[in-house]
Amino acid sequence: MGVQYETITRAHRNLYWAIAPTALHLTALEHARLGCAILPETTGVVRRRCATALAESYLLVARIEFFDLRDPDRAADTLTRALQAAGEADDPLLGAAILAHTAFIPGWAGRRDEAAERMVAARTYARRGPAPATLLAWLDAVEAECETRCGNCRTALHLIGHGEDLLAAGSDHPTPEWLDWFDSIRLAAFKGNTQLKAGHFPQARETLLAVLEQLPPESDKQRSVVFGDLAAVEAATGHPEAACEAASKALDQLAITWYATGMDRVKEVRRALAPWQNERCVRSLDDRLYGWGTTVSALAR
C-alpha cells in the first residue's frame, strides 16, 4: 500500500502542468486524506516513504490553492500540513521547499520582512541537505520573486545571478523528483519578469523570447505567464500591436490549461494598454479576453 500511494503521488505531481487545476485539486486532496489514514498503520522505512509522499501531496494541493485558485489562507493551512508530514519523513530538503512556498504568501502581499524570515528558515533546512544546485538556485528564484513584488528589483537580480552561477557550476547531489521541473529555463523566466519590473525592457524582451524558444511543449501554464510578461514589455515600450499579439498567445495557452497567474499577467497588460483602448488591436484583445469561456473561468476563481 505504501509503495502504491507513493506512485500515485508522483503521477499527480507530473499532471500539475497539464491538467485543469480544479479537477487535480480535488483528486490530490482526497489522495492526501488517504495518506493521513494510511500513515498511522505503517512503520519504519514504509512509514517514512508514506510520509514523504504525503508531504508531496499536500505541497501539490497548496500550489494549486495558491497559484491556481488564489486562496492564500487555505494554501497556508495546507503547507502547514505538508511541513508536518515532511517532519514525519525527516526530509529536510522537502521541508526547505515547503518553507520556501510559504514565503510566496507574504511576498506576493508585499510583506517583505515576513517573506525574508521564511526564506531564512528554508535555507536553514536546505543546509541540512545535502542540497543539490537546483534546489539552492530555486530558493534564489523564490526569494527573487518575493523581492521583485516588494519593489527590490536590484536585490532580486543579484539573487537570480547567484542562482545562474549555481546551476552553471552544478553539483554532485541529485535533484529530488519533486523538483525535476526546475532548470535554467525556469530560472530565466523569473529573470525576465524581474527585468520587466526593473524597467530593463530590451533585456527582458531578449530573456523572455529565449525562454519561449526553450520551454518544453507541455509547459502551457508557464508559457502563458511568459507571453504575458512579453506583452507587458511591448506595452511599456509603446508597441500596442505587439503587446496584443503576445497577450493573445497567452490566452491561447490559457484556453488549453487554465492558470490564474497567467490570466493575471494578461489583465495587467490590458490595464497598461488603456492609452490605446480604441485601437483595433486592443478591441480585438478585449473580444478574446471577455469571451464566454475566459470570462466564466476568471469569475469562477
Confidence at residue 297, expressed as pLDDT on a 0 to 100 scale:
63
Answer with the residue of higher pLDDT: 298 or 113. Answer: 113
End-of-domain residue from the set 43, 66, 90: 90
Q: What is the mean pLDDT of the chain?
A: 91
**Model pLDDT for residues 50-80, shown as the tens digit of each residue:** 999 999 999 999 999 999 889 999 999 999 9
Note the pTM of the prediction, 2 decimals.
0.91
Q: pLDDT band at 31, cuts 50/70/90?
A: confident
pLDDT of 35: 81
Residue 195 CA to chain centroid, in angstroms? 18
Measured between alpha carbons, how far is 280 from 257 in angstroms, rounded to an integer?
27
The residue among 31, 60, 90 that closes a domain is: 90
Domain membership flag for residue 224: yes
Q: Which range, 156-160, 180-184, 254-258, is most confident?
A: 156-160
At residue 129, does pLDDT exceed 80?
A: yes
Number of domains composing the chain: 2
Please give the single-letter amino acid code of residue 33. R
The 10s digit of each residue's pLDDT in 162-190 is: 999 999 999 999 999 899 889 999 999 99
Per-residue confidence (pLDDT) for residue 174, from 0 to 100: 94
Question: What contacts 160, CB < 8 A, 6 or more positions away?
Answer: 140, 141, 144, 187, 190, 191, 194
In a domain, 251, yes or no: yes
- Residue 154 belongs to a domain: no
Query: Over pLDDT 70: what percentage of the chain?
Result: 90
- Is 278 among the domain residues? yes
Q: Which domain holds residue 44?
A: 1-90
Which of 29, 62, 90 terminates a domain? The answer is 90
Domain assignment present for 125: no
Q: What is the pLDDT of residue 218?
A: 83
Assigned domain for 8 exists: yes
The answer to whether position 51 is within a domain reads yes
Examine the pLDDT at 85 and tell me if it is beyond 60: yes
What is the model's pLDDT at position 293? 67
Cα separation values, 276 from 226, 273, 284, Å: 22, 6, 12
**Which residue has 531578449 as its cell numbers?**
206
Range of weakest confidence among 102-111, 151-160, 290-299: 290-299
| Range in 23-27, 218-222, 265-269 with the lowest mean pLDDT | 23-27
Residue 37: its pLDDT value, please?
86
**Residue written as grid cell 508557464:** 222
Instruction: Determine, yes or no, domain membership for 189.
Output: no
**How far is the C-alpha of 65 from the C-alpha of 61, rounded, in Å?**
6
Q: Tell which wins on pLDDT, 152 or 36.
A: 152
Residues contacting 291, CB < 8 A, separation 6+:
none
